[in-house]
Structure 1
């Protein structure tokens, strides 16, 4: 066994927030049996990834070693941990293990992808374990902002590794299991070689607040509102959705859920037994008949998503329901960095309708699902690992988390995506650097981030597009004049003449001057036409567009 080792390799989620995918392995170098913890997504934006539907981790390294992959374990049902399972499973082929609620969501993902839901296996929480290859894996309940979140105990012949998953220390979480200090002390008792730990809120210096503290504040806000109340939060935050619904009922209001994701999560929670007493809700059709002052809508779209219920209400109407002057809209959520623009657009659209918008700037109406620095320090003390490896955070979060460990006399190591760490010895070592990246789901196909497709799309968005068409006869003589079509460019140039006319004139002159070597060589002719089209457009409107040249020759 002396030649065997424990390895840890993040393929996503270490150096970024989102797209979590962590590989653990045990065995001789290059022959390790492997498991994958989580398989999540991150979301595109119009600036960097226009038109892309989802961003998935690049699992090429793991795909090449799929014969060594024994299982996939999902810690909880957030999209950045389970969202890629349906898109990537066929490339990996290993059984998937999760607790009941998470397994239910994972099965829905499988069905959406046309795969068998039976691939996903439901497991019971710690102390029960799943044995795969050289590993014994236990799902340890931990509090977070979604039901049945779990950390993982990963036992190997060379010691125990603990993967915290996303967590917070919340002993009154409203829905789901409270944080159990004794349980986590028990996890640490046999000795833990490494704790791979959530880093999201490492810069927050105050202790985290419980979900239970939000309810009274929301109830006061809803009770004092005079018009219709609409609230948005993460659909997966079942405890918050329940808190909002109960506040509405206590204020004498009917509750209506809007948005597929919201209804799906509540249905999953009830079906799997994590939610037993959710208030009765009315349908959107029924809601249209209820006086505004007696109605509360709980809607999707807390991050400004264009197709979600919040955005559609901001644009006018959703399922027959509209906002009106004097209504109240509550963001019971934190805006994820990068989503600010979309959220602010919605806020302003509501403001123009006379709607009062309340966000979480006061700190009253939202609490984070991630551990702040004091809670991270508590977790370190409970598990008492030999080594701390931060994950689930941007580089600055991971680096700060290493400093927190060092301040308490613990050994910390910064490992970002692609760094394979050997955790076997007393000192962690980097044993390999693996190329990692992103895969884009673009429509119904997957493309590589470096394939150039999105790059070309961005160039067209920035610079516009010109199509140049020429037809040559059997004698290589031009038939007619070149003609152009423009997209995403102004129709008129600097001299108040049509841009297309200027292009076609300059292209005709170029062909008239071109020698036989250019006219008879498609590559040279295409290169010349593209150059002239770009130069003319630059002169006329100050832009160098993308140019497509179509050359047709009559046989």
Structure 2
């Protein structure tokens, strides 16, 4: 087999990240051995303020799509969107079985139903802490802790080589949902000798340890006791452990808990379906909130990242049909700010403050613990596993670099910080980048997938920032204007639209009249001349570079 001009032997063990390295989200990792491939995780990312009009991004699967006949399956380490969210968007291009634990399978199943492809997909449930084989790959799930049920690290055994792919994890002796991580399994893994550890880097630049969800429970219980009006808590819908923490803290303060947001109810249903959250009082609906005294309710809502269509944004704008907050109420942001969302979060918080609502964040009180390992946790994992090679993934450059520095301090013999598209050959004591494949992010664009770097997306950005000008020009038989051109300006000339239209009409007429008779007989020449003149005018008079479209109509076609 050949990749990007480099020959790959069938028995080469290859690690190839197509997403999730040097970025947050969009995790997609490939392993090759004995001529076969597997994918570990297939997630999404979200657009930010630098990507207007872009909501969801998925990794480009073009490389592995071409190898589809040798693709054995997708293994999902857990059920977060950045690890499974791209499956419904990309499965038709990959058409391979999917393997996951029951909780994650329930989430995937709902996505496939929404996409109307469930009957086409082979979805295989694997029990936690199980071993299974896909062709030449001997795989084992090792239970860890995270902010969602059934998070797993994946042992990938290929001949004499063993890879420890951590997935998302943390150390938590009291995780509230599920059991603490299987430390004995990690010790057994280390005793076998691990070639490489491909590891979560998200919080590697944070000092100390991440902290326990159990400690957060005590903190929230104390915090809730300080208020006598409505309490709102914004968190990620997928943080099932947090739902239990809030529910228990509320119960100890004699408050009922409402879920506000469809994704929260969906996650609650999946949790109960798989035996989780059965030990807390049933959540109430948003319609029931109005029947309870203010001091008897806690409202869990989506929108902790300032998402404009989420429940909290509508509550802040006083446009939610069932929930309203007023002076004296409090909203707790029980989540971290994802880089890029700061402005959106600030907008929501300012609207709440305008309504007299008190805001509490991580800076004010202990209201959140992460699901990812901090510095000391990463040290523990390296010292436990003792791999020959450290490969930090799942994070931006600063996170990967922090992980790499920890690996160095733990005297890991070799460290390789990958970039998406690196073809990395792994063997005992040695990892090397032997080729690179083209990678891109794809925008979920209605029912299409459009490359983020495509001209279509660039044109949309240009339209957004610079506006557009459309002109229809009717020409006589000698190529002169048969009346004023019709000019339409969008996103330009605020307050002077009529004047701008008249100026452009005159400009077009003058430009055409300067052309020779021969030049006026060629539509392309007229279009280029008018476009150039309009661009020059807009740069000089408006400081803008709008998109320009010229439509020419001739009244005499010479027949």
TM-score range, shorter chain: over 0.9
Distance 1:2 1:86, change over 3 A: closer
Which of 134, 137, 141 is 1:135 aligned to?
A: 137
Answer whether contact 1:147 1:177 (CA < 8 A) is retained.
no
- What does residue 27 of structure 2 align with? 20
- What does residue 504 of structure 1 align with? 505
Task: Please state whether the residue corresponding to 2:548 is helix, strand or coil.
Answer: strand
Answer whether contact 2:28 2:59 (CA < 8 A) is retained.
yes
1:82 aligns with 2:84: yes
Give distance in 1, aligned partners of 2:250 and 2:137. 47
Distance 1:491 1:355, change over 3 A: closer
Task: Please state whether the residue corresponding to 1:304 is helix, strand or coil.
Answer: coil
Unaligned runs of 5+ in 2: 1-7
1:450 aligns with 2:457: no
Give distance in 2, aligned partners of 1:292 and 1:404. 48
Equivalent residue runs for 1:402-417 within 5 Å = 402-410=404-412, 411-417=414-420
- What does residue 492 of structure 2 align with? 489
Give distance in 1, aligned partners of 2:380 and 2:541. 65
- What does residue 535 of structure 2 align with? 534
TM-score by length of 1: 0.95
Distance 1:469 1:134, change over 3 A: same
Give distance in 2, aligned partners of 1:2 and 1:550. 56
Deviations 1:407-466 (A, max 9, x none): 221121111111111112431111111111111111221111222111111111111111
Give distance in 2, aligned partners of 1:207 and 1:491. 54
1:5 aligns with 2:12: yes
Answer whether contact 1:53 1:443 (CA < 8 A) is retained.
no
Task: Please state whether the residue corresponding to 2:225 is helix, strand or coil.
Answer: helix
- What does residue 345 of structure 2 align with? 343
Give distance in 2, aligned partners of 1:481 and 1:438. 45
Give distance in 1, aligned partners of 2:533 and 2:232. 56
Which of 314, 320, 339 is 2:322 aligned to?
A: 320
- What does residue 429 of structure 2 align with? 426
Answer whether contact 1:22 1:38 (CA < 8 A) is retained.
yes
Equivalent residue runs for 1:277-426 within 5 Å = 277-362=279-364, 364-410=366-412, 411-426=414-429
Task: Please state whether the residue corresponding to 1:406 is helix, strand or coil.
Answer: helix
1:320 CA drift (Å): 1.9
1:2 CA drift (Å): 9.1
- What does residue 525 of structure 1 align with? 526
Which of 121, 126, 145 is 1:123 aligned to?
A: 126
Which of 214, 218, 222 is 1:216 aligned to?
A: 218
Give distance in 1, aligned partners of 2:285 and 2:210. 36
Give distance in 1, aligned partners of 2:140 and 2:305. 33
Deviations 1:222-275 (A, max 9, x none): 122121111111111111111112222221222110001111111101101133
Deviations 1:463-495 (A, max 9, x none): 1111111012445343212121011012455xx
Answer whether contact 2:306 2:344 (CA < 8 A) is retained.
yes
TM-score by length of 2: 0.95
Q: Which moved more, 1:375-384 or 1:322-331?
A: 375-384
1:467 aligns with 2:479: no
Task: Please state whether the residue corresponding to 2:423 is helix, strand or coil.
Answer: strand
Give distance in 2, aligned partners of 1:154 and 1:180. 17
Give distance in 2, aligned partners of 1:11 and 1:237. 26
Task: Please state whether the residue corresponding to 1:530 is helix, strand or coil.
Answer: helix
Give distance in 2, aligned partners of 1:232 and 1:328. 11
1:34 aligns with 2:41: no
- What does residue 159 of structure 1 align with? 161
Task: Please state whether the residue corresponding to 2:222 is helix, strand or coil.
Answer: helix
- What does residue 169 of structure 1 align with? 171
Task: Please state whether the residue corresponding to 2:138 is helix, strand or coil.
Answer: strand
Answer whether contact 2:480 2:512 (CA < 8 A) is retained.
no
1:78 CA drift (Å): 0.7
Give distance in 2, aligned partners of 1:527 and 1:263. 56
Which of 106, 109, 130 is 2:108 aligned to?
A: 106
Give distance in 1, aligned partners of 2:330 and 2:429. 57
Task: Please state whether the residue corresponding to 2:291 is helix, strand or coil.
Answer: coil
1:377 CA drift (Å): 1.1
- What does residue 182 of structure 1 align with? 184
1:216 CA drift (Å): 1.3
Task: Please state whether the residue corresponding to 2:270 is helix, strand or coil.
Answer: helix
1:244 aligns with 2:246: yes
Task: Please state whether the residue corresponding to 2:418 is helix, strand or coil.
Answer: coil
Deviations 1:494-529 (A, max 9, x none): xx9711111111111111222123322222111111
Task: Please state whether the residue corresponding to 2:46 is helix, strand or coil.
Answer: coil
Deviations 1:523-545 (A, max 9, x none): 21111111122222334333232
Answer whether contact 1:284 1:319 (CA < 8 A) is retained.
no
Give distance in 2, aligned partners of 1:444 and 1:309. 25
